[in-house]
Amino acid sequence: MTANILKLNCPDAVGLLARITGFIAESGGNLLDVGQYTDPVARWFFTRLAFTGGLAEADPGKFREGFQRLAGPLQAEWQLRPADRPVRTAVLVSREDHCLADLLWRWRSGELNIEIPAVISNHESCRPLAEREGLPFEEIDFSDKPAAFGQLEARLSELGAELVVLARFMQILPDSLCAAYAGRVINIHHSFLPAFVGANPYRRAFERGVKLIGATCHYATPELDEGPIIEQEVARVEHYHDPEDLVRLGRDCERLALARGVRFHVEDRVLVHGNRAIVFRD
101 lines the binding site for its own copies (CB under 8 A): yes
21 lines the binding site for its own copies (CB under 8 A): yes
- Which range binds its own copies by CB under 8 A, 59-67, 156-164, 166-174, 186-194? 186-194
215 lines the binding site for its own copies (CB under 8 A): no
222 lines the binding site for its own copies (CB under 8 A): no
- 3-state secondary structure labels for all residues of the chain: CCEEEEEEEEECCCCHHHHHHHHHHHCCCEEEEEEEEEECCCCEEEEEEEEECCHHHHCHHHHHHHHHHHHHHHCCEEEEEECCCCEEEEEEECCCCHHHHHHHHHHHCCCCCEECCCEEECCCCCHHHHHCCCCCEEECCCCCHHHHHHHHHHHHHHHCCCEEEECCCCCCCCHHHHHHCCCCEEEEECCCCCCCCCCCHHHHHHHHCCCEEEEEEEECCCCCCCCCEEEEEEEECCCCCCHHHHHHHHHHHHHHHHHHHHHHHHCCCEEEECCEEEECCC
Q: Is 282 among the residues known to form the active site?
A: no
User: Shortest approach of its own copies to residue 173 CB, angstroms?
Assistant: 20
Candidate list 41, 61, 84, 143; residue touching its own copies; CB under 8 A = 41
95 lines the binding site for its own copies (CB under 8 A): no
Candidate list 70, 148, 195, 224; residue touching its own copies; CB under 8 A = 195
User: Shortest approach of its own copies to residue 209 CB, angstroms?
Assistant: 4
Candidate list 231, 254, 267, 268; residue touching its own copies; CB under 8 A = 231
Contact positions toward its own copies, by CB under 8 A? 14-19, 21-22, 24-26, 28, 30-34, 36-38, 40-41, 97-98, 101-102, 105, 109, 111, 132, 192-196, 207-212, 214, 228-232, 234, 238-242, 245, 248, 252, 256, 275-279, 281-282
The residues assigned a catalytic role are 225
